[in-house]
Structure 1
Amino acid sequence: MASSGGEAARTRSRPVDPRLLRYARASRGFFLAIGVIAALQTVTIIAFAWLVTRAVVDAIAGAELSGTLLALAGVVAVRAALLWAREIVAARAAARVEAELRSRLVAAVGRLGPGWLAGRNSAQLAVTAGRGLEALDAYFGRYLPQLVQTVVATPVLILVMWWADWISGLTVVLTIPLIPLFMVLIGLATRAVQQRQWETLGRLAARFADTVRGLSTLKVFGRQHRAADSIRRLTAIYRRETMRVLRVSFLSGFALEFLASISVAIIAVTIGFRLIDGSLTLLVGLFVLLLAPEAYLPLRQVGVQFHAAAEGVAATDDVFAVLDAARDAAAPARAAAVPGDGALVLDGLRVRRGDRLLPPVSVTATPGTVTLLEGPSGAGKTSILAALRGAAHGEGMATYGGADVGGLAPSTWLAWAGQAPGLVAGTVAENVTLGDDAPDADLVGRALGLAGAGALDAERELGVQGAGLSGGQAQRVAVARAFYRHLRGFGPVIALDEPSAALDAATEADLWASLRALADGGATVVLVSHRESARAIADRIVRLDAAEVTA
């Protein structure tokens, strides 16, 4: 991660983060198209200035203007068409890059696993994937096209001015560096305040999500008003940060416009004096004077559009940080092919929970057996299952079929159900077949029956987090999901964490019978339970205590 952090720090000072080209391939064609459009726009700018100059000079001389005016109308039409084309290209590129980065972000979070996600602000990640990436519309629609226009147009316009009148060209060369200098100074201030605003928005999202999640508990203890006050304070901070960003933006706009106006005025004054003394012709003087504002305009607009795109830039920093982390994590363990059926072996596995390192566990679970983990709360039973599915970090060895489980995607070998059912809005069947692209309706019914939920209608609609079911029903649907994954061949190892906590004795007995039957059919079952009745189906019992682990 150190290398990624250093790379991120280096790229913050660059106009375009090179990681954009690496992670968003759609942006490569965008830069090529915008470059071509910028070159054509530069030609139309020069042609427009020359034709206007020609028309004014011919009008003073009393010459025919129809040809010049017709050409001028054509140039105006072409310039308008190029602006339209730039908007279309930018809008399409923004949509494609947003979709690509969002897809890569979700895939990266999946690769990093729940253990990594547990230590992150999930609400802020959601804001980044949503509003943050949507802010790329301004980044691609305004900032990047203007940046490319500046790179292409500014040197060409300066060269044309120098060719027509070297004094005016020299004036531009001497004064134009002031604009990027002030842009850098103001940009550093803008990035700092914009980053604070973005971080405040992330904290606000996290606080709001936590408050909604625990609203019932807060209500019971009469603390809902304190939570609301906390959100109100964060909202006020976010409002102040937003106003600070706007103040810096207005200040930078004024500074850039002032510098450009003074520079153009200097050129205009020198041209005026030379027109008076006859050392410069009207044709050259007017042509150079019309080009002068256009030479400064791209740089000024880059500074203005940078502020409009600052939120998108901040969001991409967060996205790239996640993608870099996923890339670094994938490098050492690109590894392991998913093995066939085999033994699950834990050899001195010590799970780390915060600052606490749990005692080592050594156990072997083989196909056709039920391994029971029991012990008091806090002994580490749930932590063992968390380490197997990548939701907790551990020391020691954990292998399945001879392959390190750290190099295997849990979805390819583990059928798991935890203490929280983890249901989603949708039908019961959709919750049971979650993650299966080709659901098997017959297996859904069988899995529900094995879990003691055969009486539930598979087409019954559930609300958010499985609303509409009792606690025991929700738990049985979660167990049915694990059974379904095993029956579909997705999870040879079944790991259940307190699956009977909300069940009555009769339903619990049926569940134990189902587990025994699945084990006899070749499943490797790892069961966490404090129920004494679970011992009846266990082939091996591992006792975990807070101070020591015995088997």
Structure 2
Amino acid sequence: MSDPDTGRRAKRTPPVDPRLLRYASASRGFFVAVAAIAVGQTAVIVAFSWLLTSAIVGAVNGMPVADLAPTLGLLALVVGLRAVLLWAREGVAARAAARVEAQLRDNLVTAVGELGPEWLGRHNSAQLAVTAGRGLSALEAYFGRYLPQLVQTIIATPVILLVMWWQDWISGLIVLVTLPLIPIFMVLIGLATRSVQQRQWRTLHHLAARFADTVQGLSTLKVFGRQHRAAASISSVTERYRGETMKVLRVSFLSGFALEFLASISVAIVAVSIGFRLLDGSIALMVGLFVLLLAPEAYLPVRQVGVQFHAAAEGVAATDDVFAVLDAARRRAAEPGVDGPGSRRAPALGTSVVGALGESTGSGSDATLTPDQSTGSGPETTLTPGQSTGSGRRGGVLTLEGVQVRRGDRLLSPVDLVARPGDVVLVEGPSGSGKSSALAALRGAATFEGRATYGHRDLRALAPSDWLAWAGQRPGLVSGRVRDNVALGDDSLEPAVVARALALACADDLDPDLELGVQGAGLSGGQAQRVAVARAFARHLAGRAPVIALDEPSSALDAATETRLWASVRALADAGAAVVLVSHRVSARDIADTVVRLEPAGVPA
């Protein structure tokens, strides 16, 4: 995933990225546990070599079986202990991988939320999905194989080398001289592996993005007869991904062969040296055999680190992408006016945003909305004071003063408006004047200059989800029931609120339990639009959003349905909502308290 905000691949990361300890606290305990197991495994390796040497030398010297029995018993115990430690390491690694994967995925989702819609709009959601899905799943190999082997190498190799030097300094010197050759080749091979792995990972991102875009625009492609060209393009990217994967495998096999060859040559040198000295009697059989058994164990951890690096390369590439997002969120939190992660949610937990930010000013009543249950039509919508639906809460005042949305290298026309509880503020103007961009600024999806506040708090320091209910020109529906699309994952939303929202949005003819396909397939354009409007209404009725922003909510509706919808919007405003309405329909003026007219403009930044 290309991230212009970070330049994350400008330098190589160390074998263990320190950001892993920062962003995944579960990894700290993992390293402690794996280090303790590695110490035990090292002790078992030395003990196994010593006991096996003792048994062999004893047998060569004609020691009775009864005298060898204790040594053989201890040898069997050590073998069993080595298997238990290996099992423990696998179990610890698997559990740590699962915890870290979940932790990083949660942090990634939180970071994307803190970065906001504007940042998300500059990045491909399919690529983020691949990173959060398959990429983080690849951490199992990273934690289960690479990191435990790396810790084992750091602990076992120096200890085994010291034991060999203590027993036979000549063999220790040979290992000390030849051992660095393996890391040198590992670095060279690792550079090549990392390069091809990153190309493979980027190609996978490209494939995911291309496939998602093609599926989303498939109906348009079919209308223009271009679906075959899109399929050919996907096939081309898939073939490129296959080629990159084969390159990764080719480099992995070649590097494995190179490391095995170097280790074998090095052990052979130690064996030849011991063999000659055994012939001239300058070294005892006990010492020579013990050192010879330890020699492969000195090279094995280093060799395995190189092998396991290839298995973990995809996970490493994925963590780079995750850390890039988390770093961007960390930098955003350090910006002036943002106190830290989560600070955009100004009210304390359990405190209503209306109570924390609101002020009892502006028009409107404390009444709540009760649509007629039989028809849900606008004219029959009435206000019944005293009902506790939450929609009657009084919100703060939304104020925009000289707000100019930035689009590339230009600034759009300045927007000035004030929306109080009970107001319907209509924003109108020709195409390209910045109507939708103004709403994008409200929901944090566009940068802007000027002053924008809600309840005397800067919008840049507030989470839009705490005060705004929004319905855009694209319905943004997902597969599932109609009621699930209205609730949008809010399990606490009561069925009665969902039904009321559908009625207000003139979608009461839809069965809330109707199953929809991908992107809301199964509904007409007008029906999908009304469900999206109902989603915004439901959020307001539940008391979670005092301000409602609607972007061309009647563009796909007939005149009669549009009239009913305007009546519902007016009723919601009269019940206490502050409504910002973008529409090119003249009929919208009938319900507006204020009309804000925008004209196209482009001011160089």
Scaled by the length of structure 2, what TM-score is found? 0.88
Q: In structure 2, what is the equivalent of residue 428 of structure 1?
A: 482
* Preserved CA contact (<8 Å) 2:8 2:320: no
Matched, 1:218 2:272: no
How much does 1:9 deviate?
4.7
Task: Specify the SS of the correspondent of 2:450.
Answer: strand
Matching residue of 2:81: 78
Partner amino acid for 1:39? Answer: V
Equivalent position amino acid for 2:48 in 1:
F
* Corresponding letter in the other structure for 2:45: I
**1:89-488 equivalences in 2 (<5 Å):** 89-332=92-335, 333-334=338-339, 335=343, 337-338=346-347, 339-340=357-358, 341-488=395-542
1:6, CA displacement in angstroms? 7.4
Q: 2:531 and 2:200 mapped to 1: Cα distance?
A: 42
Residue 446 of structure 1 aligns with an amino acid whose one-letter code is R
Offset at 1:422? Answer: 1.4
Write the distance in 1 (CA, Å) between the matches of 2:565 and 2:598: 23
For structure 1, which segment, 246-255 or 348-357, has the greater mean C-alpha deviation from structure 2 after superposition? 348-357
SS of the residue corresponding to residue 527 of structure 1 reads: strand
| Contact 2:211–2:234 (Cα < 8 Å) also in 1 | yes
- Identify if the C-alpha distance between structure 1 residues 58 and 308 changes in structure 2 by more than 3 Å, giving closer, same or farther: same
Distance 2:250 2:524 in 1: 53
Cα distance in 2, alignment partners of residues 146 and 32 from structure 1: 14
- SS where residue 351 of structure 1 aligns? strand
How many angstroms apart in 2 are the aligned matches of 1:148 and 1:278? 38
Paired with 2:270 and 2:582, the residues of 1 have a C-alpha distance of 82
Distance 2:405 2:602 in 1: 13
- Note the C-alpha offset of 1:455: 2.5
Q: Distance in 2 between matches of 1:446 and 1:255?
A: 70
In structure 2, the residue matched to 1:53 is: 53
CA deviation string 1:164-191 (max 9, x = no partner): 1111111111111111111111111111
Task: Give the equivalent residue in structure 1 for 2:351.
Answer: none
Q: Which residue of 2 aligns with 1:67?
A: 70
Matched to 2:178, the amino acid is T
- CA shift, 1:359, in A, is 1.6
Read off the aligned partner of 2:208 and give its amino acid letter: A
The structural deviation recorded for 1:468 is 2.1
Q: Distance in 2 between matches of 1:483 and 1:6?
A: 42
Q: Match for residue 560 of structure 2?
A: 506
Counterpart of 1:443 in 2: which secondary structure? helix
What is the identity percentage for the equivalent residue pairs of Structure 1 and Structure 2?
A: 73
Question: Quick check: 231-240 or 15-24, which moved more?
Answer: 231-240
Cα distance change of structure 1 residues 186 and 548 upon mapping to structure 2, 3 Å threshold: closer
Q: How many residues align?
A: 547
CA RMSD after TM alignment:
1.7
Matches of 1:485 and 1:354 in 2, distance apart?
A: 32
Q: Report the equivalent of 1:28.
A: 28
Whether the 8 Å contact between 2:27 and 2:96 is mirrored in structure 1 is: yes
2:492 aligned counterpart, secondary structure: coil
1:514 and 1:256 map into 2 onto residues whose CA distance is: 73
Q: In structure 2, what residue type is equivalent to 1:369?
A: D
CA contact (8 A) 1:8 1:321 kept: no
Matched with 1:518 is 572
The equivalent residue for 2:385 is none
Q: 1:166 to 1:255 in 2, by over 3 A?
A: same
Cα distance in 1, alignment partners of residues 573 and 4 from structure 2: 46
Query: 104-113 vs 405-414, which deviates more?
Result: 104-113
Q: Distance in 2 between matches of 1:410 and 1:454?
A: 28
Q: Which amino acid aligns with 1:439?
A: L
Q: Quick check: which one's helix share is greater?
A: 1
In 2, distance between residues paired with 1:128 and 1:5? 16
- Measure how far apart 1:538 and its partner are: 0.8
Once the two structures are TM-superposed, the CA of residue 298 in structure 1 deviates from its matched residue by: 0.3
Partner SS, residue 309 of structure 1: helix
Displacement of 1:548 in angstroms is 8.1
The answer as to whether partners of 2:39 and 2:155 remain within 8 angstroms in 1 is: yes
- 2:603 is the counterpart of 1:546: no
How far apart, CA to CA, are the structure 2 residues paired with 1:390 and 1:437?
A: 25
Q: How far apart, CA to CA, are the structure 2 residues paired with 1:525 and 1:496?
A: 8
Task: Tell which deviates more after alignment, 346-355 or 530-539.
Answer: 346-355
Distance in 2 (CA, whole Å) between partners of 1:220 and 1:438 is 42
Asked if the contact 1:4–1:324 (Cα under 8 Å) also holds between the matched residues in 2, the reply is: no
C-alpha separation between the residues in 2 aligned to 1:199 and 1:390?
29
Equivalent residue, structure 1, for 2:16:
16
Deviation at 1:4, TM superposition (A): 8.6
- Contact kept, 8 Å, 2:8 with 2:324, in 1: the verdict is no
Match of 1:44 in 2: 44
Residue correspondence of structure 1 range 528-543 to structure 2 within 5 A: 528-543=582-597
The alignment partner of 2:543 has SS state of coil
Which structure 2 segments of 5+ residues have no match? 348-356, 359-394
Deviates more, 1:458-467 or 1:341-350: 458-467
Query: TM-score, normalization: structure 1?
Result: 0.96
2:175 corresponds to which letter in structure 1? V
Q: Secondary structure at the match of 2:404?
A: strand
Q: How far apart are residue 91 of structure 1 and its match?
A: 1.1
- Cα distance in 2 for residues equivalent to 1:360 and 1:53: 86
Per-residue Cα deviation, 1:65-103 (whole angstroms, up to 9, x for no partner): 211111111111111111111111111111111111111
**How far apart are residue 352 of structure 1 and its match?**
1.8
Partner SS for 1:547: coil
How far apart, CA to CA, are the structure 2 residues paired with 1:219 and 1:408?
A: 42
Measured against aligned partners, the alpha-carbon deviations of 1:10-40 in whole angstroms (never above 9, x if no partner) come to 5x33110011111111111111111111111
Of 147-156 and 463-472, more deviation after overlay is shown by 463-472
Partners of 1:5 and 1:458 lie apart in 2 by 44
Preserved CA contact (<8 Å) 1:171 1:267? yes
Please tell me the residue identity of whatever aligns with 2:119: W
Counterpart code for 2:309: F
Kept after mapping to 1: 8 A contact 2:540/2:548: yes
In the TM superposition, residue 542 of structure 1 has moved relative to its aligned partner by: 0.9
Structure 1 position 449, deviation (Å) = 1.6
Do 1:424 and 1:464's aligned partners in 2 also have CA atoms closer than 8 Å?
A: yes
CA distance in 1, matches of 2:504, 2:223: 37
Task: Report how far residue 459 of structure 1 moved.
Answer: 2.4
Distance 1:384 1:492 in 2: 18
SS in 1 for 2:164: helix
Q: Once the two structures are superposed, what CA deviation does each residue of 1:459-493 show, in whole Å capped at 9, x if it has no partner? A: 22222222222221221111111111111111111
Which one-letter code corresponds to 1:53 in the other structure? T
Conservation of the 8 A alpha-carbon contact between 1:253 and 1:303? yes
Question: AA paired with 2:472?
Answer: G
